[in-house]
């Protein structure tokens, strides 16, 4: 393909070199004349292993040139990739003016062409940005079929960027309405096995990844500060933590849904953060986890309130499916709040037998929900009733029975991604989707 790349910084130069290596003809575009002159001569604008050699090779093969003229670049290519920066403004908000300016220029140039063009945005932008740019600057071209627009986030690490481009650990392409791009683009640019989602989902994934990476670094450093205060080598602690690929380094706890609870996580977080405070160690990330967990529960309460029904049915009261452990269960906390606000509450949890509760588990009910026996239904039909908001916290009821018993007068709020609930004869809403 003939490809124009707008923005010859880190992402743009790496993308150009990698595509030229594959045999594509590259036209680099930038507003800085000095950068354009260097790039046009095959000189790398940044230090990155292997980059200088690839750009020199591309220049020798006649696959590389650069210009400051947007119209020249658009006329000479059929695909443009935007890699300009999106810095922070003074307030911390994202500054997309450079992307907006480039996209506006590209749109004007494409309007003078008589052929179809493809625009690929790689600049990191908040969800909804691509849609706004298209609506405000490119809608005529997109609607008329002269321009296809994709968002293709980059996941390049400095120092290994070329390897990451050629062998990505993660790749996704955002398309309008999530429609698959043409096979030639999937084969030559995006990768045939790359998942295709809508623009906003692809934009959000990039931010989720970066936020997660920042969280991991901060978490390791906070553990390190606490460990050092206790004369413990945190490198060993974190090395051992990472060896558990079943729970620690895995998808297990990375699915949006129920707030965390149970006998361990809340208690141990409180103990660790209290120890840090007593000993003068600041751990703001760890200290934010319980408040964030509480806020997640508040989000669920808001959805229940917005459903407009005063009857609420909780499917699954314990903190985890197929257990009867009620200690610090989010559903126990939810039930308390709902009762206090005058809601009529019904609970269904086949794993729960009040007569068998003992010790701390029984004390939870004695203190927080002494009238649980009157709220707990052992028959699913009587629990569901003929109407009400159903909070599906666990998969504790047969789907066939739910299909038979749930009516349009019910409103289902799915907490843990029970996708089959969408098929029921009632309004459906997910907690995080």
Q: What is the pLDDT of residue 355?
A: 82
SS3 26: strand
Domain that holds residue 97: 2-199
Instruction: Name residue 429's beta-bridge partners.
Output: 413
CATH number, domain of 351, equals: 3.40.50.720
Domain count, the chain: 3
Q: End of a domain among 229, 263, 292?
A: 292
Do 8 and 141 lie in one domain? The reply is yes
Cα radius of gyration rounded to whole Å, the chain: 27
Do 65 and 39 lie in one domain? The reply is yes
Q: What is the pLDDT of residue 108?
A: 98
Catalytic residue, from 184, 242, 264, 432: name it: 264
173-175 and 147-151: which strand pairing? antiparallel
CA 18 to chain centre: 27
Do 163 and 82 lie in one domain? The reply is yes
Q: Which residues of 122-156 are buried (b: 16+ CB within 10 A; e: fewer)?
A: bbbbbbebbbebbeebbeebbeeebbbbbbbbbbb
Do 259 and 367 lie in one domain? The reply is no
In whole angstroms, what is the distance from residue 221 CA to residue 226 CA? 9
Do 239 and 254 lie in one domain? The reply is yes
How crowded is residue 37: how many other Cβ atoms within 10 Å of its Cβ? 12
Do 323 and 233 lie in one domain? The reply is no
Nearest to 253 by CA among 294, 204, 212, 202: 212
Q: What is the pLDDT of residue 163?
A: 95
The count of residues in the chain is 433
In whole angstroms, what is the distance from residue 135 CA to residue 229 CA? 54
Do 225 and 78 lie in one domain? The reply is no
SS3 236: helix
In whole angstroms, what is the distance from residue 297 CA to residue 48 CA? 45
List the alpha helices (DSSP H) in 309-379.
Answer: 330-340, 359-368, 372-375
Q: What is the pLDDT along the chain (433 residues), one digit of tens a residue?
A: 999 999 999 999 999 999 999 999 999 999 999 999 999 999 998 899 999 999 999 999 999 999 999 999 999 999 999 999 999 999 999 999 999 999 999 999 999 998 999 999 999 999 999 999 999 999 999 999 999 999 999 999 999 999 999 999 999 999 999 999 999 999 999 999 999 999 999 999 999 999 999 999 999 999 999 999 999 999 999 999 999 999 999 999 999 999 999 889 999 999 999 999 999 999 999 999 999 999 999 999 999 999 999 999 999 999 888 888 888 999 999 999 999 999 999 999 999 888 888 888 888 888 888 888 899 999 999 999 999 999 999 999 999 999 999 999 999 999 999 999 999 999 999 999 9
Do 188 and 224 lie in one domain? The reply is no
- Using CA atoms in the order 211, 216, 222, 228, what is the torsion angle rounded to 10 degrees? -160
In whole angstroms, what is the distance from residue 118 CA to residue 43 CA? 27
- Inter-axis angle of helices 10-21 and 51-60, nearest 10: 50
Q: End of a domain among 222, 257, 292?
A: 292
SS3 294: helix
Q: Which residues of 61-90 are buried (b: 16+ CB within 10 A; e: fewer)?
A: eebbbbbeebeebbeebebbbbbbeeeeee
SS3 388: strand
Residue 339, burial from CB neighbour count under 10 angstroms (0-12, 13-18, 19+): middle
Beta-carbon contacts of residue 228 (< 8 Å; ≥ 6 apart)? 234
Give the predicted TM-score (pTM) of the model: 0.90
Q: End of a domain among 270, 292, 314?
A: 292
Do 22 and 170 lie in one domain? The reply is yes
Do 100 and 213 lie in one domain? The reply is no
Do 316 and 370 lie in one domain? The reply is yes
Taking CA 150 as the corner, what is the angle to CA 172 and CA 157, rounded to the nearest 5 degrees? 45
Q: What is the pLDDT of residue 32?
A: 93
Q: What is the pLDDT of residue 360?
A: 80
**Which structure tokens are listed for 195?**
């998942």
**What is the 8-class DSSP label of residue 88?**
B
In whole angstroms, what is the distance from residue 69 CA to residue 147 CA? 20
Do 181 and 306 lie in one domain? The reply is no
In whole angstroms, what is the distance from residue 102 CA to residue 7 CA? 9
184 is catalytic: no
Phi/psi-derived region of residue 94, left when phi > 0, alpha when psi is between -120 and 50, beta in every other case? beta
Q: What is the pLDDT of residue 354?
A: 87
CA 227 to chain centre: 31
SS3 308: coil
């Amino acid at each position: 393909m003939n490809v124009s790349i707008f923005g010859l910084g880190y992402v743009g130069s790496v993308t150009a070199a990698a595509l030229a290596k594959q045999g594509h003809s590259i036209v680099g575009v930038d507003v800085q004349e000095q950068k354009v002159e260097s790039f046009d001569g095959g000189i790398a604008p940044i230090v990155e292993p292997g980059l200088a050699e690839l750009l020199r090779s591309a220049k020798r093969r006649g696959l590389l040139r650069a210009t400051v003229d947007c119209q020249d670049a658009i006329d000479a290519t059929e695909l443009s990739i935007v890699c300009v920066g999106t810095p922070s403004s003074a307030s911390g908000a994202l500054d997309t003016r450079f992307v907006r300016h480039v996209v506006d220029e590209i749109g004007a140039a494409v309007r003078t062409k008589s052929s179809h063009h493809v625009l690929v945005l790689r600049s990191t932008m908040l969800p909804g940005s691509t849609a706004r740019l298209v609506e405000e600057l490119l809608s005529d071209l997109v609607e008329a079929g002269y321009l296809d627009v994709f968002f293709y986030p980059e996941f390049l690490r400095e120092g290994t960027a070329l390897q990451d481009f050629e062998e990505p650990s993660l790749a996704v392409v955002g398309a309008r309405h999530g429609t698959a791009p043409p096979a030639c683009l999937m084969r030559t640019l995006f990768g045939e096995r790359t998942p295709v989602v809508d623009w906003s989902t692809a934009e959000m994934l990039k931010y989720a990844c970066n936020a997660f990476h920042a969280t991991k670094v901060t978490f390791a450093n906070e553990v390190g500060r606490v460990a050092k205060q206790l004369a413990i080598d945190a490198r060993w602690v974190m090395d051992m933590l990472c060896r558990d690929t079943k729970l620690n380094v895995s998808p297990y706890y990375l699915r949006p849904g129920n707030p965390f609870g149970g006998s361990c996580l809340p208690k141990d977080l409180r103990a660790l953060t209290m120890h840090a405070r007593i000993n003068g160690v600041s751990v703001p990330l760890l200290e934010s986890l319980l408040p964030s967990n509480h806020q997640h529960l508040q989000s669920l309460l808001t959805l229940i309130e917005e459903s407009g029904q005063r009857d609420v049915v909780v499917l699954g009261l314990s903190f985890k499916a197929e257990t009867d452990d009620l200690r610090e269960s989010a559903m126990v906390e939810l039930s308390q709040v709902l009762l206090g606000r005058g809601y009529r509450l019904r609970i269904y949890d086949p794993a729960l037998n009040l007569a068998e509760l003992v010790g701390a588990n029984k004390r939870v009910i004695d203190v927080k929900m002494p009238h649980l026996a009157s709220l707990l239904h052992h028959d699913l039909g009587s629990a569901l009733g003929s109407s009400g908001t159903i909070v599906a916290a666990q998969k504790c009821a047969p789907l066939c029975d739910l299909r038979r018993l749930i009516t349009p007068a019910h409103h289902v709020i799915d907490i843990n991604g029970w996708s089959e609930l969408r098929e029921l004869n009632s309004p459906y809403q997910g907690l995080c989707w």
